[in-house]
Amino acid sequence: MIDKKILEELNLTLEEYETIVQLIDKEPNITELGIFSLMWSEHCSYKSSKVHLRKLPTKGKNVIQGPGENAGIIDIGEGLAVVFKIESHNHPSFLEPFQGAATGVGGILRDIFTMGARPIALLDSLRFGPLANSKNKAIMEGVISGISSYGNSMGIPTVGGDVYFNNCYSLNPLVNVFCLGIVEKDKIFYARAEGDGNPVLYVGAKTGRDGIHGATMASAEFGEDLEEKRPNVQVGDPFKEKLLLEACLEVMAKDLIVGIQDMGAAGLTCSTSEMAAKSGSGIEIDLDLVPQREEGMTPYEIMLSESQERMLIIAKKEKVKEVKEIFAKWDLDAVPIGYVTKGERLKVKAKGKTVVELPVKAIIDLCPVYERESKSPFYLKSAQKLSTLPGSEDYNQSLHKLLSSATIADKEWIYRQYDHMVQTNTILLPGADASVLRIKGKKKALAISLDGNSLYSYLEPKTGGKIAVAEACRNLSCVGAQPVGVTNCLNFGNPEKPEIMWQFKEVIEGIAQACQVFNIPITGGNVSFYNDTEGISIYPTPVIGVVGILEDISKMVGPGFKEEGNPVVLLGNNKDEIGGSEYLKSVFKIERGLPPQIDLEKEKRVQELCLEAINLGIVQSAHDISEGGLAVCVAEKCFLSGQKIGCRLELKDKIRTDVLLFSESQSRIIISIKTHHLQKLLSLAQKRKVKAEIIGETGGRNISFRHLDEKVINIAVTKAHLLWKKKIPEIFRIK
Amino acid sequence: MKFGVVIFPGSNCDYDTFNVLKEILKQNSVFLWHKDHNLKNTDCVILPGGFSYGDYLRSGAIAKFSPLMQEIQEYAFKGGLVLGICNGFQILLELGLLPGAMLRNKNLKFLCQFVHIELENDETPFTKKGKKGQVLKIPIAHYEGNYYAPPDIIQELEINNQIVFRYSDAQGRISKEANINGSLGNIAGIINKQGNVMGMMPHPERAFEVHLGSKDGRLIFESILKTVDSRQ
């Protein structure tokens, strides 16, 4: 009998249970209720976020597929399309960092190749607690090994991403994985169960008891019982997935199937009911036919298992033999377990008995939608206040501290664990503003950037949302790419708390506004709520992934200075704002104040100017100003210059020196340019109403800044570089 | 000239290698499926990088039992040219076509980055277009590339001039700092006594174009072309 205790275990409310009974016109048995508990979980149903997500712009002339499928698809011309998405694997990565992160990679890869695309790039957005804490260190090490192990083995390069450190992630790391694939426009596959009587094939790994209720776990807060939840994390097998990838792409290329869906969160339950619901059809399967790894599994366990590396295929009736042969070639089973039916019902049999009979619409489309209460949080007013700024210290000293803060320090220790070169398309190696991948045989290339500063979103959520989009786009414009599509991963605390809901609404509002101004559609993404451990929520963390196109790969520009004697030009305005900065955080341990404010129209003009100048071939290097401000941006331009070229700069703004050097004011890009191109650049800037100021030139061995005739920073590039480069390896050095 | 590139189920540099042979060097090239027993009359067989069978046990340990391996053994004994890159090198070690074994990298992490290697033997079929002492910039990408062999084997390799590449700095100095993964004697590539089977950890197929960071990998494939052309 279904009682309160069972409902609690399944994370369903009494009201939800009553709705279910009404919808299906009977008391559900335990397996049926299990199905609802998964598909109506926050993770699968988006029941708390749906009403707000509708505000995001999703349309555009190049959009082939918006939200609602395994991944979004954008037309990039010449008969090709890119398929991409970002997804979180936060909860599993905390419980079991290696497997949690690894299966996160496995899951997003399946989302991409399910649509017929060959994955060509992975990126990760990672958030960890401070590394002084050994637990955080172990989590980070495990997560990176997990990503490395899965992506490397599959032969998909991990080409970039971002990493931030903050106390708020101490018991709640974030692992957001992005994947992009390429497909011929007329060879895209969807999750469809069409054609009455077409066989349902189960392919890939056998089903075990792993990961049962993973999706439900990701839809609740962690309390003291978190150790017990470890068995909810699945175990990944990248080799199996590699076989699955090759076999699936082969049956697709030979046009043998009508639809395909991966079995990720909610496994067999989700794939069967979603495919049927999307096609207005039904599915009938027999669980006795499902390949099983363990004996004595109940229908409940088989339906809810989240074993990895599995797919569900609807084959063309007459092609089953050929499909099976291809899977056999790759040493995989392809087992018919049922067929497509006419009525919109999911029917599951086991040992000759019907164990599930449900209307698919009820499972997928009729989940209740909540407009949860929202309320501006109490902390906001006081956190935004930054009445008196502490006195500044020696500026050289401050720059040292920033360069060796984990968030700013070099991430080579991380990305060299990832095979970022396999497939030989990586034109701009990790560590630049954006990752750039060529498309073999084409003039155009793809650029990708992930971004999301959660401190800004904590201090002023709407601004945080806007900046996440603006900065990711700015990163693309720095390499010479035009943004064409966005995917987002929204990581928040418990949405049942009105304050969290308010943060969520505000961030979405900011993202929506920015996307509208930049005229780029959101093609999908993922919401991860309940990022709370023992009552403490993470900062609201929107992660934005933007994909762009470089029309001519030969025009691409990198971040590092190219040669000595080049004028250095600042595009955009320096402003007197320091709230929410890495400077305040690293030097004074202050996480307060208003984050930098952003004028989206102006931001757009700065980006367009940068892009236009790059396309004219007059830019030597471009790097945007972000965490650590102008001084850190310039230092990085020296580090990434190859020969460690220095620069001599002079600032004239009447702003307090430390604020000027380390402010994270938006809409600024620093470029270097040949002297004879200067006039051209300045006239372009004037035309676009963007301030372009010559702040000095490249040369020498030092990073040197003067402010209002006073020498304020003077450090040898090699010395600063060493600080920046050594920080993270030293933390993880084997002693 | 006809190249054959072997595909194991977990190979992942098979297409990269095929691409440089076919599209850049414009050579007749074919894939060889690991389950077949047919080398398709190729003049040189390449075992590409990847994770042949997932490599959960020991890299290359299962690939050794692939049906095609019997043919490759025979082919090698008869003097056929065999090049193993990264996982291909590991497989050649497991097959016993080359001596030694691979341990995990000394820092116990996967490493993907450009390295410098010094060419020590310019008389092999795979390096004859180079010059002894020349330094090449080629990327590595491996977890188990820390070459090990017992002292007597190492001595034999040295005496027979079987060490083809060593990890070095940009100037060609063989130092402890340049020994990225901890290999004995900084060894990055070796050849068998007969001089027709070579294994190397760096990926020459990834260093073929200026905008990928280096063209130095061409030397290996162009040497093979020269060798085969002079034979015919």
Q: DSSP letter string over A112-178?
A: HHTTTPEEEEEEEEEEE--TTSHHHHHHHHHHHHHHHHHHHHHT--EEEEEEEE-GGGTT--EEEEE
Residue ranges per structural domain of chain A: 20-555, 557-735
In chain A, residues 327-366 whose CB comes closer than 8 Å to chain B: 329-331
Beta-carbon separation of A242 and B208 below 8 A: no
pTM: 0.96
Nearest CA in chain B to A142: B109
CB-based burial, A660-690: b 16+ in 10 Å, e otherwise: bbbbbbbbbbbbbbeeebbeebeebbeebeb
**Token pair for residue A213?**
């209720």
Nearest CA in chain B to A422: B13
Give B195→chain A minimum CA distance, Å: 29
> For A99-115, what is each residue's pLDDT tens digit?
999 999 999 999 999 99
End-to-end CA distance of chain B: 9
Fold of A557-735: Phosphoribosyl-aminoimidazole Synthetase; Chain A, domain 2 (3.90.650)
Beta-carbon separation of A238 and B54 below 8 A: yes
Q: How far, in Å, CA of A391 to CA of A308, rounded?
A: 55
Q: How far, in Å, CA of A509 to CA of A518, rounded?
A: 14
Beta-carbon separation of B10 and A553 below 8 A: no
Nearest CA in chain A to B8: A330
Among A598, A602, A620, CA closest to A681:
A620
> For A83-94, what is each residue's pLDDT tens digit?
999 999 999 999
Facing residue for B10 by CB, picked from A242, A423, A553: A242
Q: What percentage of chain A carries pLDDT values higher than 90?
A: 88
CATH classification for the domain delimited by B2-231, as one of 3.40.309.10, 3.50.50.60, 3.30.420.40, 3.40.50.880: 3.40.50.880
Beta-carbon separation of B211 and A242 below 8 A: no
Among A468, A393, A381, A696, CA closest to A561:
A696
Check whether A232 has a pLDDT greater than 80: no
> For A112-142, what is each residue's pLDDT tens digit?
999 999 999 999 999 999 999 999 999 999 9
Residue A23 buriedness (CB in 10 A; 0-12 / 13-18 / 19+)? middle
Nearest CA in chain A to B87: A153
Give the model's pLDDT for residue B104.
96
- Does residue A540 sit in helix, strand or coil? coil
Nearest CA in chain B to A242: B10
Of the residues A98, A421, A427, the best mutation for testing chain B's interface (the one with the most B CB atoms within 10 Å of its CB) is A421
Q: Is A485 on the interface with B (CB under 8 A)?
A: no
| For residues A707-714, average pLDDT | 95
Q: What angle, 0 to 180 degrees and rounded to 10, lies between the N-to-C axes of helices A600-615 and A678-687?
A: 150
- Partners of residue A152 in chain B, C-beta under 8 Å: 51, 110, 112, 141, 143
| For residues A423-433, average pLDDT | 94
Q: How far, in Å, CA of A6 to CA of A616, rounded?
A: 65
Give A652→chain B minimum CA distance, Å: 39
> For B131-190, what is each residue's pLDDT tens digit?
999 999 999 999 999 999 999 999 999 999 999 999 999 999 999 999 999 999 999 999
Nearest CA in chain A to B142: A419
- Partners of residue B15 in chain A, C-beta under 8 Å: 423
Of A150-154, A290-294, A488-492, the poorest mean pLDDT is in: A290-294
CB B25 within 8 A of CB B225: yes
Give the model's pLDDT for residue A615.
97
Nearest CA in chain A to B109: A417
Q: Is B112 a catalytic residue?
A: no
| For residues A538-545, average pLDDT | 98
Cα distances (Å, whole numbers) of residue A45 to A87, A206, A588: 15, 26, 42
- Does residue A505 sit in helix, strand or coil? helix
Give the model's pLDDT for residue A171.
83
Q: How far, in Å, CA of A446 to CA of A178, rounded?
A: 14
Give the model's pLDDT for residue A265.
75
Beta-carbon separation of B112 and A419 below 8 A: yes
Q: How far, in Å, CA of A32 to CA of A39, rounded?
A: 11
- Partners of residue A416 in chain B, C-beta under 8 Å: 109-113
Beta-carbon separation of A242 and B13 below 8 A: no
Q: Where do runs of H (alpha helix) occur along A254-378?
A: 267-279, 299-304, 320-329, 360-364
Give the model's pLDDT for residue A235.
82
Q: How far, in Å, CA of A622 to CA of A569, rounded?
A: 10
pLDDT bin (cut points 50, 70, 90) of residue A717 is very high
CB A168 within 8 A of CB A133: no
CB A282 within 8 A of CB A346: yes
Q: Where do runs of H (alpha helix) occur along A493-590?
A: 498-518, 582-588
Beta-carbon separation of B206 and A429 below 8 A: no
Residues of chain B with pLDDT under 70: none
Q: Is B211 on the interface with A (CB under 8 A)?
A: yes
Among A703, A652, A650, A665, CA closest to A583:
A665
Sole residue written with tokens 């270097």 = A672
| For residues A334-346, average pLDDT | 96
Beta-carbon separation of A155 and B13 below 8 A: yes
Beta-carbon separation of B15 and A423 below 8 A: yes
Q: What is the full DSSP assignment across A344-394?
A: SEEEEEETTEEEEEEEHHHHHT------------THHHHHH---SPPPP--
Q: How far, in Å, CA of A721 to CA of A641, rounded?
A: 11
Give the model's pLDDT for residue A213.
66
Residue ranges per structural domain of chain B: 2-231
Q: Is B211 a catalytic residue?
A: no
CB A317 within 8 A of CB A265: no
Q: How far, in Å, CA of A697 to CA of A650, rounded?
A: 9
Nearest 5°: phi and psi at B228?
-70, -40
Q: What percentage of chain A carries pLDDT values higher than 70?
A: 97
- Partners of residue A418 in chain B, C-beta under 8 Å: 110, 112
Cα distances (Å, whole numbers) of residue A170 to A143, A144, A458: 14, 16, 16
Facing residue for B110 by CB, picked from A148, A238, A330: A148
Q: Is B170 on the interface with A (CB under 8 A)?
A: no
Sole residue written with tokens 């090994």 = A145
Residue tagged active-site, from B13, B34, B86, B144: B86
Of the residues B109, B137, B221, the best mutation for testing chain A's interface (the one with the most A CB atoms within 10 Å of its CB) is B109
Check whether A226 has a pLDDT greater than 60: no
Residue A454 buriedness (CB in 10 A; 0-12 / 13-18 / 19+)? buried
Give the model's pLDDT for residue A214.
61
Stronger pLDDT, B229 or A226, i.e. the higher one: B229
Q: Is A43 a catalytic residue?
A: yes
Q: Is A318 on the interface with B (CB under 8 A)?
A: no
Check whether A219 has a pLDDT greater than 80: no
Q: How far, in Å, CA of A651 to CA of A47, rounded?
A: 51
Residue tagged active-site, from A89, A91, A420, A707: A89
Cα distances (Å, whole numbers) of residue A363 to A44, A281, A430, A578, A669: 11, 13, 42, 49, 49
Give the model's pLDDT for residue B225.
96
Of A186-200, A261-275, B155-169, the poorest mean pLDDT is in: A261-275
Q: What count of CB pairs under 8 Å joins A to B?
A: 89
> For A359-398, what is each residue's pLDDT tens digit?
999 999 999 999 999 999 999 999 999 878 888 889 999 9
**Token pair for residue A326?**
């291809």
What is the overall mean pLDDT for chain A?
Answer: 94
pLDDT bin (cut points 50, 70, 90) of residue A642 is confident
| For residues A4-13, average pLDDT | 90
**Token pair for residue A441?**
């045989």
| Residue A462 C-beta-side C-alpha neighbours within 13 Å | 10
Beta-carbon separation of B50 and A429 below 8 A: no
Query: Tell me, what amino acid is at A407?
Result: T
**Token pair for residue A695?**
């702040």
